[in-house]
Amino acid sequence: MTELWPRLRIEPSGAGRVCRQVLAELPEWFGIEEAVEDCVAAADRSPTVVASLDGEDVGFLTLARHSPQAAEVQVMGVLPALPRRGIGRALLLEAQAWLQQSGVEYLQVKTLSSGRPDAGYEKTRAFYLANGFRVLEELPTLWGPRTPRSCS
């Protein structure tokens, strides 16, 4: 790939294909087929920011709007072959800018509790903390051991 910075686009709906493609490359986070299907359905019905490099979709971030002022990052993924290239941050910044234009003041994300040690989710939590998110509440039993995250 020759592009250094991703091209970003907002898909108002219908991004399930991109979601499925990226999550298939992230089995350590998204290895439960039922959870993947929930995420694909969410990306098909919800606004999704898609990142592309050289015309290839390499990442996505799906949003859920909970009220006129609040939204949530439902699911986000970047191809593992592209670590630490700023793609996740670019997706997040684009989502925040798009949400602000429609009056959203608060953006939240739910991830596996730090009370359940997991090296992958430790990186996930570090990413969100580095991007301005703060822990507001710990819900260590929100998801079961086999389903640490759901998109529904």
What does the pLDDT read at residue 45?
A: 97
Q: What is the pLDDT of residues 26-37, one digit of tens each?
A: 988 788 899 999
What does the pLDDT read at residue 29?
A: 79
Residue pair 131/92 in contact by the 8 Å Cβ criterion: yes
* 5 CB-side CA count, 13 A: 4
Helix (H) or strand (E) holding 130: helix 119-130
Instruction: Specify the CATH number for 7-110; select among 3.30.420.40, 3.90.550.10, 3.90.660.10, 3.40.630.30.
Output: 3.40.630.30
User: What SS3 string covers the chain?
Assistant: CCCCCCEEEEECCCCHHHHHHHHCCCCCCCCCHHHHHHHHHHHHHCCEEEEEECCEEEEEEEEEEEECCEEEEEEEEECCCCCCCCHHHHHHHHHHHHHHHCCCCEEEECCCCCCCCCHHHHHHHHHHHHCCCCCCCCCCCCCCCCCCCCCC
Tell me the C-alpha to C-alpha distance, in Å, between residue 45 and each of 24, 29, 49. 19, 22, 13
Evaluate if residue 23 carries a pLDDT over 60.
yes
- Percent of the chain at pLDDT exceeding 70: 91
Phi and psi (nearest 5°) for 24?
A: -60, -25
Evaluate if residue 149 carries a pLDDT over 60.
no
Residue 146 banded pLDDT, cuts 50, 70, 90:
low
Mean pLDDT of all residues in 52-61: 97
Mean pLDDT of all residues in 21-50: 93
pTM: 0.90
Average pLDDT, the chain: 90
Mean pLDDT of all residues in 35-54: 96
Evaluate if residue 94 carries a pLDDT over 80.
yes
Tokens for 115, please give them. Answer: 């009370």
Evaluate if residue 1 carries a pLDDT over 80.
no
3-state class (DSSP) for residue 118:
coil
Evaluate if residue 2 carries a pLDDT over 80.
no
